[in-house]
Chain A
Amino acid sequence: MTATIEQTGPATSVGEVPTFEVTLRVRRFLPEGPRGDESYWDDHVLTMHGTDRVLDALHKIKWEQDGSLTFRRSCAHGICGSDAMRINGRNRLACKTLLKDLDIRKPITVEPIKGLPVIKDLVVDMEPFFASYREIMPFLVTSGNQPSAERIQSPEQRAVYDDTTKCILCAACTSSCPVFWTDGQYFGPAAIVNAHRFIFDSRDEAATQRLEILNDKEGVWRCRTTFNCTEACPRGIEITKAIAEVKRAMITRAF
C-alpha cells in the first residue's frame, strides 16, 4: 500500500489552539559551572499551546532561552524511554505529559529521576540501572537443536507475560522505588519486570536460573509493595503484580 496524504478538512492554524503562560522550574546541575557541585532551581516563563508536552517546553527553553539546558530525548513519542524525569514530584516521560494536564497555575517542577547519580541537569548515569538489568539475563535461553521454523507458542502462553513485554527501560519505576533510593543494592522493579518477561515465557529454559538470581537478599524480597513503580510506569505495566508473580513462583519452587 502506498502512503497518501490524507485531507482532513481545512488545516487548523496554530492560533486556534489555546495558548497559556506556564512557569517551568527546572533542576539544574552544572559541575563545571560557577555553582560547582550545587544544584539549583531555574525558572523559565513560556508561552505554550494546549497541545504541548513538557518535552516541548524543555525544547523551547533549550532552543530559545538557555541552550545550556541538558536532557535526554530521542524518539519523543514514548517508545525509546530516554526522557523519564520527575515532573511535579512524579516520575513521568516528558514526551507523554501534556502541560494542560498539569496544574499550570503553579510552576511545574522538572527534576532528574532519583537514586541515580546526576551527570548534568536532567541527565543521570543509567549504568547501575542497566547493570542490574544485565544480571537477570534478558535474552532467550534454549537448548538442543534450533527448530527449522518458529518456536511455537499459543496465544494463552503468550498472554501470561504480555504485560511485562511492554517495558521500555526508561527507569521511571526503579528510580521511584524508596527501597532503591536507600543504597541502590536492590535489583529494582525494572530488572524484575524483565526477568518476569522471560521466566513466564514458555519457550525459555532458564526460568530456574533467573529465579535463583532474584532469590537474592537484594532481590524480590526487598519489595515492600508500595506501588510507586506501578504508578510511575509510563507504559501502564502492573509492575507490583509482576513482582508478586515472581515471588509466588519462588515459593512454589521452594516448597
Chain B
Amino acid sequence: MSTPVITAPRSPYARRKTTRGNFELYGWVFMRISGVVLVALIFTHLFVNLLAGEGINAIDFAFVAGKWASLPWRIVDLIMLWLAMMHGTNGVRTIINDYAEKDRTRGILKVLLYSAFVIVVVTGTLVIFTFDPCPAGADPALLADFCKQL
C-alpha cells in the first residue's frame, strides 16, 4: 500500500495579512457566465466552419476573408477571442495560485501568463479590426485569386 507522499511543512503556516475584496468574487461569477456564453459561441463557430455548407472542405483564406467581410461575424469573433482569453487566463491564474508554492515562482508564471494574454488579445483584436484581404498596392503575386476580380 503506497499512498501519495505529501511532505509535512517544517514550520507552521501563518496566514498573512488579510486580502479582502470583491475581486475573487467577480472572477468566480465571470467564470460561470463566460463559460456558458463560450459554449454557445464555440459550438456556433464549429458548426458554421466545419459542418454548414461544404463543411470543412470550404475552409481557406477566401472563406475567412468572406466571413470577416461582414460586421456581425467580426463582432462574434471579437467577443469569442476576448471571452476565451479572459476565461482561459483566469483559469490558469487560479491553477498557478493553487500549485505554485513560492511567491517568486508565482510571480514569474503570472508575468508570462499576462504577457501571453496581452500579446494574443492585442494582435487578435488588431487583425479583426484591420483585416483587408486585398490591400491596395500590394505585390499581386502575394494576393489571393479572388482579388484579381476586383
- Chain A residues close to B by CB (< 8 Å): 25, 29, 39, 86, 88-89, 106-109, 111-112, 114-118, 124-125, 127-128, 131-132, 135, 178-179, 181-185, 187, 212-213, 215-219, 221-222, 224, 247, 250-251, 254-255
A64 to B15, CA, bound (A): 41
Stretch of B18-26, B41-49, B67-75 with 4 or more beta carbons under 8 angstroms from chain A: B18-26
* B interface, size bucket: 20 to 34
Asked if B15 and A117 make an inter-chain contact with CB atoms under 8 angstroms apart, the answer reads: no
- B1 near A: Cβ within 8 Å? yes
Knowing A111-B3, A128-B12, A184-B13 touch, does A216 contact B98 (C-beta < 8 A)? Answer: no
Q: Is the contact region of chain A dominated by helix, strand, or loop, or is it mixed?
A: mixed
User: What are the 5 tightest A-B residue pairs by CB atom distance, in nearest-first order?
Assistant: A184-B13, A89-B3, A221-B24, A217-B19, A118-B8
Q: How many A-B residue pairs have CB under 8 A?
A: 99
For residues 35 through 90 of chain B, which have their beta carbon under 8 Å from a beta carbon of chain A? Answer: none
* Contact, CB under 8 Å: A178 / B18: no
A182-B101, A184-B15 known; A215+B25 contact, CB < 8 A: yes
Q: Which residues of B contact A127 (CB under 8 A)?
A: 12
**Structural contact, B12 and A250, CB atoms closer than 8 A:** no
> Mostly helix, strand, loop or mixed at chain B's interface?
loop
B contact residues vs A (CB 8 Å cutoff): 1, 3-4, 6, 8-16, 18-29, 94, 97-101
B8 and A116 contact, CB distance less than 8 A: yes
Evaluate whether A216 and B20 lie within 8 angstroms (CB atoms) in the complex, with A88-B3, A112-B8, A125-B12 already known.
yes
The complex places the Cα of A181 from the Cα of B7 at a distance, in Å, of 9
Q: How far is the CB of A243 from chain B (nearest CB, A)?
A: 12
Which of B4, B18, B19, B24 is close to A89, meaning CB atoms less than 8 Å apart? B4
Rounded to whole Å, the gap between the CB of A179 and the closest CB of chain B is: 6
In the complex with contacts A106-B1, A128-B13, A178-B98, A218-B8 CB distance below 8 A: no
